[in-house]
Amino acid sequence: MQIKNTAINDLNSGLLLDHEENLKLLSKKHQNLEQIIDVIANYNIAIPSWALGAGGTRFGKFGFGGEPSTLEQKIEDIAVINTLTKSANAISLHIPWDIPKDPEGIKATAEKLGIQFDAMNSNTFQDQEDQEYSYKFGSLCHTDKSVRDQAVAHNKEVIDYGVALGSKSLTVWLADGSNFPGQLNFRRAFENTLSSLKEIYAHLPSDWKLFIEYKPYEPNFYSMVIQDWGTSHMLAKDLGEQAYTLVDLGHHLPNTNIEHIVATLMTRGMLGGFHFNDSKYGDDDLSVGVIKPYQLFLIFNELVFGMQNNPANNPIPAWMIDASHNLKDPLEDLIQSIEAIETAYAKALLIDQKALESAQLKNDVASAQRILQDAFNTDVKTILAEARRRNGGAIDPILAYRKLDVRNQLIKERGMNSSATGL
Ligand code: PSV
Ligand code: MN
Ligand code: MN
């Protein structure tokens, strides 16, 4: 299913009068409004191929119909989101779920729909039917060199698929760890992981980046080999300049000060990638901004500061949503996540950085808090809508999605029982 520009224009025209009035009011209050609209209008977040179907838990999964079952269909779904939001121009693939049988054909489909290939993801957390050795006791960290070799070869293959498609990065997330004290020698597991990663890194094209994701627990509940940003940072440092740490918001213990981690990594130019989601208890993978929008805003404050003050040359992080959709239509959910991310970003851009610096230097704590909260409490819906409108997107993307009856069209095309591969 493809949405026509004329359909979006028609829907926008009914909302335009109100929108323009709101914009006028806002521009009276904020002198740098144009700049902020511009930043948001140029901002894009990658969508993972595995977030387009119904997610589930180990207790069950409830489908909703019209799910994409081929890579082409996944790209089409992202194009729908991008046509409405103009903020999702890339897909992140997971191998072997998304093996491109005809890379040239897939590339052409994606190009026609304006979708690029973001980071490639390897999968050594599940056993595949045709593989020789099991990952039950780990992959890159495994005690048996044959298992490690198999996992290394898989990651190299994932890079090769990415090269064929025009991707420029590989994200490694490992489930490796242990469930019981004594099961694993921590130091041996770390060294094995490092030497496996070195082999993968050696296969990386010179214009690629390697992102190392960390996670404190799950699926292993006693120890994870790459448990935190420090471990990821150590590995990346040992590998070389093309390796970076990737922060996934859900991969922290409750109440961790993630904004502080972001600032620390950017001080050393080591923040390579970012996975957005929200959580109340663990790696809940809820829609972005539903639980802790103020934390997200504080994280964006550090990201904005880090991008504007960048002596260590931190690259612009690779942005991706990494959420799961158990109840909501995933396309609506992803649109809501995009809006939450851009809301936090726009609010962070509203922070008066000079005033904040001066309050900090004077140790004027109350003023510093007020500066942050003034920005956080500003309604930025109109900024987001204007950024979308200027790019030809929808003033209200969820409303447009519903008025265009996208889900029912997809069900008509693909049926009620189609299902996407993924987590
Ligand atoms: C598992 O926790 C996970 O959600 C990681 O965040 C990865 O990025 C993702 O799966 C895909 O492998
Ligand atoms: Mn992730
Ligand atoms: Mn996760």
Q: Which has the closest alpha carbon to 184: 132, 133, 221?
A: 221
Question: 422 in a domain, yes or no?
Answer: no
Does the global pTM surpass 0.90?
A: yes
Residue 338 has pLDDT above 90, yes or no: yes
Is the complex ipTM more than 0.95?
yes
C-alpha 132/C-alpha 31 separation (Å) is: 62
Q: Which residues surround ligand 3, an ion (CB under 5 A)?
A: 283
Q: What is the pLDDT of residue 64?
A: 85
Question: 326 in a domain, yes or no?
Answer: yes
Q: What is the pLDDT of residue 358?
A: 98
Return the percentage of the chain with pLDDT > 90, whole number. Answer: 95
To test the pocket of ligand 1, the residue of 173, 226, 321, 324 to mutate (highest count of ligand atoms within 8 Å of its CB) is 173
Q: Is 248 in the pocket of ligand 1 (CB under 6 A)?
A: yes
Question: 423 in a domain, yes or no?
Answer: no
For residue 42, the one-letter residue type is N
Please give the distance, rounded to the nearest whole angstrom, from the Cα atom of residue 217 to the centre of ligand 3. 10
Which residues pair with residue 246 across a beta bridge?
213, 273
Q: What is the pLDDT of residue 43?
A: 98
Look-up of token digits 């509940």: 221
Q: Is 252 in the pocket of ligand 1 (CB under 6 A)?
A: no
Which pLDDT band holds residue 315 (cuts at 50, 70, 90)?
A: very high
> What confidence tens digit (pLDDT) does each residue in 387-410 have?
999 999 999 999 999 999 999 999
C-alpha 313/C-alpha 301 separation (Å) is: 18
Question: 64 in a domain, yes or no?
Answer: yes
> What confidence tens digit (pLDDT) does each residue in 217-275 have?
999 999 999 999 999 999 999 999 999 999 999 999 999 999 999 999 999 999 999 99
Question: 421 in a domain, yes or no?
Answer: no
Neighbours of 129 (CB within 10 A): 5
Please give the distance, rounded to the nearest whole angstrom, from the Cα atom of residue 225 to the centre of ligand 1. 15
Helix and strand numbers (H, E) in the chain are 16, 12
Q: What is the pLDDT of residue 211?
A: 99
Q: Is 276 in the pocket of ligand 1 (CB under 6 A)?
A: no
Q: What is the pLDDT of residue 418?
A: 86
Question: 419 in a domain, yes or no?
Answer: no
Q: Which has the closest alpha carbon to 225: 121, 123, 135, 141?
A: 141
Please give the distance, rounded to the nearest whole angstrom, from the Cα atom of residue 94 to the centre of ligand 1. 10
CATH number for the domain including 290?
A: 3.20.20.150
Residue 169 has pLDDT above 70, yes or no: yes
Residue 333 has pLDDT above 90, yes or no: yes
Q: Whose CA is nearest to atom 4 of ligand 1?
A: 322
What is the extent of the structural domain holding 88? 5-414
Number of structural domains (the chain) is 1
Please give the distance, rounded to the nearest whole angstrom, from the Cα atom of residue 181 to the centre of ligand 3. 23
Q: Is 213 in the pocket of ligand 1 (CB under 6 A)?
A: yes
